[in-house]
Amino acid sequence: SQRSRSAITKGDSQLSLLSSGKPERSARSGLKAISSSFPAFTSEQLRLFEWMASYYGCELVDVIENAVPRVNRGRSLLQACLNEAGSKLLADPEQLAALERRASRQADFLRRLHEAGGALPVGEISAHAHSIARRLEQLGLISLQLEHAPVQLVSGDQEARLEAPALTAHQQRAVESLAEAIQTGGFQPFLLFGVTGSGKTEVYLRAIERVLEAGGSALVVVPEIALTPQLVDRFVERLQHPLAILHSQVGQSERWQAWEAVLRGECRVVIGARSAIFAPLNNLALIIVDEEHESSYKQSEGLRYHARDVAIMRAQFADCPIVLGSATPSFESLMNVKRKRFTLLEMPERVSERPMPTMNIVDLSKIRVKEMPSANISPELHRALGETLDKKQQAIILYNRRGFSSYLQCDSCGEVVSCPDCSVALTYHKRKNIMLCHYCDRTSAPPEWCAFCRDDRTTRVEDRDPEEVTVGKLHHRGGGTERVVEELGQLFPDARIARMDRDTVGQKGAYRRILDAVRSFDTDILVGTQMLAKGHDLPGVTLVGIIDADVGLHLPDFRASEKIFQLITQASGRAGRGTEPGTVVIQTRQPNHPTIVASVRSRFKAFARFELDQREGLAYPPWGRLLRIVVSDPGLDQAFSLAKDVRLILERFVEAHGLADQLGGVLGPAPAPIERLRGRYRWHLLVKSPSKRVISQLAHHVHAFRRTLKEADTRIAVDVDPIDML
């Protein structure tokens, strides 16, 4: 059917819509369509958005606001054109005088257009030009259109194009399977299970080349912005088609322009992070989700969608193959293979017959403090670092904690300096000399004395009794990436050391600069958090050291062991990807923990079987579905009271619709593990069910209840398929 264009408004925001011209359905309630000329997405995408609204139990407009760049972010591209009615008004002195008296700015606007030859970008006319332009359009005196500004798409150089490397036997089989699926078409999901360094990216490239040869388009989604520059570089070297890049560090205007270029068909390959899954590609023939196990695919605020799951549904609506790639697949994907829903493609060996790295465990519980070269570096890791530097090779040191010290603690009473708005300890950051909350970003000056047992803080220390001087003294406990960098600088003063964590990658392009310095051998040791384990290919790195493999292992989260196994395996996979073999040193106080043992022995399948058996009896995913509801309020009693109300409305809904036999139980309300966050007390409930439909129904019901709340300070977060319980 003929497509019509319209814009959607909600409050003061405006979104554009390219719809199929079909009558509005009930799922689109709350949307007001008005005439416009700004297409934003395809009718195939609209089906996806409607599925998301149904599955996550929210309003369609909420999905669109998350998925589509807003039109008003591209205002500088708006072109005003004087039409026949406007020209006639300017030529009629009486009409022009009447407009001058009624709305002088509108008259000035029309004159500027006339002087410019009848057309001008709205942003160049006046400070209030956009509201004036909208009013003149409503009066029928001008027309507005979105000018397609030149878009900086990335494309390869034909002369500099690199030759494709020879494939391993396992790569060849994977490429052939995908080529057949692309040729036949239709929804076909694949799990590409390949060890680190097995060449999954090369398989992606070969598959995309087949798609482009056939005239189709391809979408590549990556878990972190850190991956995008590397993937773009690799794709640019091989593909002779423009690439569009969509991720959070792309500016608002750039994002809208790239979106428009994709919609117009100027670009047939899109690479980006989580939100790139919504790119308006036409003739979509292949979707690739790299590192599909990554938790960053799940949005943690607002509409809590999972990009991997949305990608699977988008492939189904587009009727095309989808590839989920990982060295440590999610248990959900493994279960889909077991149930014959996904086709498994395995690549169990590294390319060029390179060996997997040698894994070494260091039991920190057996090392005395005085034997440690520094607070966080064991003798074994110190020795391995020295040997690596002597060979002019590079090392990565992983510590999944930012800052200099994890917390400040009073030696006298044991009190820890905590965030006044959150029930967590403040972390000390030495370079900025601040205490920082990693949950609400609150900062404060680091105190010297304990506020609880040092009441007389106005008395100078030198005036006190010598025995009292140490009372209430605060000391640094734990560590972080900043402290490890300092220790390494003292142990290896000639080494060039860089840090990669959230504190150092805030500026645009910081990821690329840090990684490029490693690739060009301007960095000897790279210290960082889990973002170091995100699929980087750094051929000069032969050593990976993990400072504390136990971090996160005992969080109140049924996925804790799975996440730690993935982190250790992915981080270890950065070693030995070049011509030299790799070594991994894992420091732990629990060397016999099943997760640590399995990761050291690279026994993923055995670990997965063990974990799946543990979850089955508890009906945790992938055996069942979960709905987590978090109620928060500045008042503790108010939060608890509302949480009880939520449980009551859930129980009434279940009873009214006869869903009791499809429910695995409702747990809570109970205090959330982080009981207070950003000044709000938090209570949560957990609903279990084997049925996706039931979970979606309950989510929709809670969303509806939330919209009836009149208290502005009270909030309810609804999370379908939660990935953590904090």
Structural domain contains residue 109:
yes
702 pLDDT more than 80: yes
Task: Please indicate whether residue 243 or residue 416 has the higher confidence score (pLDDT).
Answer: 243
User: Domain check: are 648 and 713 in the same one?
Assistant: yes
Do residues 175 and 167 lie in contact, with contact meaning Cβ atoms separated by under 8 Å?
yes
The whole-number pLDDT of residue 242 equals 84
Q: Which CATH number do you get for residue 322?
A: 3.40.50.300
Structural domain contains residue 259:
yes
User: Domain check: are 117 and 216 in the same one?
Assistant: no
The pTM of the full predicted model, rounded to 2 decimals, is 0.80
The whole-number pLDDT of residue 470 equals 52
Structural domain contains residue 133:
yes
16 pLDDT more than 70: no
Structural domain contains residue 154:
no
The whole-number pLDDT of residue 619 equals 87
Counting Cα atoms < 13 Å in the Cβ hemisphere of 431 gives 12
Do residues 264 and 148 lie in contact, with contact meaning Cβ atoms separated by under 8 Å?
yes
**For the chain, give me the number of helices (H) and strands (E)?**
20, 28
Q: Domain count for the chain, please give it.
A: 5
User: Domain check: are 658 and 588 in the same one?
Assistant: no
User: Domain check: are 349 and 484 in the same one?
Assistant: no
The whole-number pLDDT of residue 407 equals 61
**Two tokens, residue 578:** 């070049």
User: Domain check: are 556 and 681 in the same one?
Assistant: no
The whole-number pLDDT of residue 159 equals 52
User: Domain check: are 207 and 275 in the same one?
Assistant: yes
The whole-number pLDDT of residue 487 equals 92
Q: What DSSP string runs through 230-248?
A: HHHHHHHHH--S-EEEEST
User: Domain check: are 292 and 379 in the same one?
Assistant: no
Percent of the chain with pLDDT over 90: 36
556 pLDDT more than 60: yes
CB contact burial 527-556 (16+ within 10 A = b; e otherwise): bbbbbbbbbbbbebbbbbbbbbbbbbbebe
Task: Please indicate whether residue 9 or residue 602 has the higher confidence score (pLDDT).
Answer: 602
Domain that holds residue 218: 169-353
Structural domain contains residue 378:
yes
Structural domain contains residue 415:
no
- Cα separation of 417 and 410, whole Å? 8
- Cα separation of 549 and 58, whole Å? 39
Task: Please indicate whether residue 340 or residue 4 has the higher confidence score (pLDDT).
Answer: 340
Q: What DSSP string runs through 315-327?
A: HHHHT-EEEEEES
Task: Please indicate whether residue 718 or residue 65 has the higher confidence score (pLDDT).
Answer: 718
Nearest-CA neighbor of 145 among 166, 172, 121?
Answer: 121
DSSP assignment letter at 372: -
Q: What is the pLDDT of residues 205-254, one digit of tens each?
A: 999 999 999 999 999 998 865 565 667 778 888 887 888 888 766 666 67
Q: Which CATH number do you get for residue 711?
A: 3.30.70.1430
User: Domain check: are 385 and 496 in the same one?
Assistant: yes
Task: With both helix axes pointing from N to C terminus, report the angle between 200-213 and 169-184 in degrees, rounded to the nearest 10.
Answer: 30
**Whole-Å CA distances, 165 to 206, 354, 423, 553, 583:** 11, 15, 52, 39, 26
Q: What is the pLDDT of residues 63-107, one digit of tens each?
A: 988 888 765 444 446 778 889 899 888 888 888 888 888 888 888
Mean residue pLDDT of the chain comes to 82
- Cα separation of 541 and 545, whole Å? 11
Q: What is the pLDDT of residues 302-361, one digit of tens each?
A: 889 999 999 999 999 999 999 999 999 999 999 999 999 999 999 998 888 888 889 999
443-444 and 474-477 strand pairing = unpaired
User: Domain check: are 103 and 221 in the same one?
Assistant: no
Do residues 31 and 61 lie in contact, with contact meaning Cβ atoms separated by under 8 Å?
yes
Structural domain contains residue 151:
no
Do residues 682 and 639 lie in contact, with contact meaning Cβ atoms separated by under 8 Å?
yes
- Cα separation of 63 and 216, whole Å? 26
Q: H-type helices in 219-305, by residue range?
A: 227-238, 252-263
Q: Which has the minimum average pLDDT: 414-418, 481-485, 641-645?
A: 414-418
User: Domain check: are 594 and 661 in the same one?
Assistant: no
Q: Coil, helix or strand for 335?
A: helix
Q: Which has the minimum average pLDDT: 255-269, 295-309, 520-534?
A: 255-269
- Cα separation of 327 and 293, whole Å? 9
- Cα separation of 726 and 716, whole Å? 15
Q: What is the pLDDT of residues 460-510, one digit of tens each?
A: 444 545 444 455 677 666 678 888 999 999 999 999 999 888 877 767 677
User: Domain check: are 349 and 362 in the same one?
Assistant: no
The whole-number pLDDT of residue 385 equals 95
Structural domain contains residue 629:
yes
In which element (H, E) is residue 334 found? helix 331-338
The whole-number pLDDT of residue 343 equals 96
The whole-number pLDDT of residue 124 equals 67
Do residues 21 and 2 lie in contact, with contact meaning Cβ atoms separated by under 8 Å?
yes
Q: What is the pLDDT of residues 569-601, one digit of tens each?
A: 988 888 888 888 999 999 998 899 999 999 898
The whole-number pLDDT of residue 161 equals 60
What amino acid occupies position 559? R
* Terminal C-alpha separation, the chain: 47
Last residue of a domain, one of 612, 647, 664: 612
User: Domain check: are 209 and 322 in the same one?
Assistant: yes
Last residue of a domain, one of 555, 578, 612: 612
Last residue of a domain, one of 612, 644, 672: 612
